[in-house]
Amino acid sequence: MVQLSMWSKMSKTHLTGETITLIEMLNVREKRANIQQELLQKHPNCVLLSATMNIPGPVKTNEQLRQAFLTVMKEINSLFPPEKIAALKHRELKTGSEYYLVLNETAKELKRKLIKVEETHRYGRLMDLDVVYLKEQALCSVSRSELNYKPRTCFICEEEAKICGRQRRHSVEEMQETISQLLRKEG
């Protein structure tokens, strides 16, 4: 089967696994927004952790990435007593792992806890831990800057990640090799 992926023309992958297309990624993002909306409408006085991984290139998941994801989710779950958890949902897709945790928590306090995980956990830099809430039936999120935290840094050069991405400072191969090395390291 021919893959119509923008990534397949750009790189020879260092991460092994099933490849996905740009269309599949766009479709799953739309579905993710629908899931977020549904969960928050069912639990209107709660906030939502929406967790995925930041994996460049056409391979978004494999057994090593799944295990890294689950390791981080286990740590996050340990931060909250059962009475704070209103709902959870976990999906394993070829576009990557998704985890939704609906909590009786303030959005800003939840974001502070997740920033700590992003900055201290071995796999934290690979994670995309969004705090989402409803405001007038619209999805909103809490940013790092709202809480006076510095922007996330690139896991290769330590510069601001969004700037590196926008300027394409690192090749997909270089980013995948860095991720592969991180996954191979002993805990």
116-164 pLDDT per residue, tens:
999 999 999 899 999 999 998 899 999 999 999 988 888 888 888 888 8
Q: Is residue 130 part of a domain?
A: yes
Model confidence at 5: pLDDT above 60: no
| Residue 3 pLDDT grade (very low, low, confident, very high; cuts 50, 70, 90) | very low
High-pLDDT (> 70) share of the chain, %: 91
Q: Is residue 100 part of a domain?
A: yes
The residue range of the domain holding 57 is 6-149
**What pLDDT does 169 receive?**
87
Q: Is residue 11 part of a domain?
A: yes
Q: Is residue 94 part of a domain?
A: yes
Indicate the pTM of the whole model. 0.86
Q: How far is CA 184 from CA 110, 149, 158, 166, in A?
A: 30, 30, 21, 28
Q: Is residue 157 part of a domain?
A: no
Range 68-78 average pLDDT: 96
Q: Is residue 163 part of a domain?
A: no
**What pLDDT does 12 receive?**
42
Query: pLDDT tens digit string along 15-57?
Result: 888 999 999 999 999 999 999 999 999 998 999 999 999 998 8
